[in-house]
Structure formats: C-alpha cells, structure tokens
Amino acid sequence: MADVLPLVEARLRSALGEPDARAAITFLGTDRVEVLRFLDAGASGPAAAADRPLVRYATLGMSAQPMADPTATLADPVKGPRAELVLTVAAGLADTDKVLRPLAVLAASPQVEGVIVTPGASLDVGEPLWPGAPFSSVLVAEPGGLVEDLELDAPMEPVRFLPLLPMTPNEAAWKRVHGAQALQERWLTHETDLRDPHRNSVPLD
C-alpha cells in the first residue's frame, strides 16, 4: 500500500505553494510529525491584521495512521479517519513560528491519547500557542475550503485538512456551553479576524 505522506505533502504544495520552512518533532512512542510553513502574500479581509501577508502552518505526519476509536480493543491499521491540521495567522505581528511544537503536540494526540480529532472539537495545549498569545486552545473547523480532501485507495478513508481557529479562554469556556456553531456565528456577526495573533475575545454577552 502506498505511503500516504508523500501524497499529503503534494496536496499541501498544490494548494498552498512551496513551503519556506519545515520542522520535525518526534515524541516518545510516536511517529515523527513535521510542520510546514507557507507564506501567502494575498491577504484580504475586514480587520487591520488582514492587510498583512498570511503565514500558514500545516502538519505532516498525523495522517500516516488512521485515528482509532479509543473504545476499540484493537486499532485497525487501515480503516479510520485521517487528518492533518492547518493554522493561518497574519505574518509579522507575533513570534508565531513558536507554534510549531504545540501544533506537533496536537497532531500527535491521536497516537498519544487515542483521540479522534473532528470538526467542532476543542484542542487545548495548556500554554500560549506562541509567546504572548491570548490563546491556548483552538476550535477545529470544517475541512474542504483551503485544502481539498485527499482521496486514498479503498478501504482507506480520505485525508481531511482541518483548519484550526484560535480561541481565547473566555471563548473556549463559552463554546463548551453553547457549542461550536454558536461561537462561529458570534465571530461572523462581529467580523472577527481570526488570523489576528493579538485579537481580543469576541463579545459574548
């Protein structure tokens, strides 16, 4: 069976261009996870941060194995959902390259913790995503917009590229009560620029 990761990297390159940097991190008992950085000069949007170029960070390695149901007695080595994570922020406003390790930690969580990462989930790294960041957690958004799903040969499931939306602690707490869709509607109503690395919490009253 063909190695999945070269196909995943090719899909990322076709969607985001050539990466200008990459880092590899290996955690004890897990496969290596790489994080690729892509620069995008074509930023646009409602807020000041949107006038700047964008930097996108994409994991490479999470999809090497399918995510296994934590209640299953034996993990299926072929069947099961596969995913990679993509984070987009405005470039040059913060030391966002420090997000590489937190992203790798999140990408390794299916192997380490036996979780299945799906849209609508909250992922918390327990520390700021980068120095001075007002976020320590992210909301997993729906795939298919920035990077299309990568179809694999049956019986393997497609690789989905899941956008990550940084959340402030107040937003994360509010989301736990009201749900992911309600929080995203708040962001949309207030024209929140989710790519701003210094943004404040959206009004939640």
What tens digit of pLDDT does each residue of 156-200 get? Answer: 999 999 999 999 999 999 999 999 999 999 999 999 999 999 999
In the chain, at which residue ranges do the beta strands (DSSP E only) sit?
A: 21-25, 33-40, 54-60, 82-90, 122-124, 137-140, 159-167
| d(C-alpha 54, C-alpha 79), whole Å | 35
**Interior angle at CA 196, CA 181 and CA 174, nearest 5:** 35
Pairing state between β 82-90 and 54-60: antiparallel
Q: Which pLDDT band, with edges at 50, 70 and 90, does 11 fall under? A: very high
CA distances 18 to 58, 191, 203, Å, are 12, 30, 37
List the one residue out of 163, 132, 166, 133 whose CA is nearest residue 148.
Answer: 163
SS3 at position 64: helix
Work out whether the CA dihedral 105, 141, 14, 135 comes out positive or negative.
negative
Give me the percent of the chain exceeding a pLDDT of 70: 90
User: Identity (one letter) of the amino acid at 85?
Assistant: L
- Using the predicted structure, report yes or no on whether residue 47 has a pLDDT greater than 70: no
CA distance 172 to 26: 28
Question: Which of 35-49, 79-93, 135-149 bottoms out in mean pLDDT, i.e. has the lowest?
Answer: 35-49
Higher pLDDT residue, 68 or 188? 188
Please classify residue 117 by burial: count the beta carbons closer than 10 Å to its beta carbon, then call 0-12 exposed, 13-18 middle and 19+ buried: buried
Q: pTM of the prediction? A: 0.91
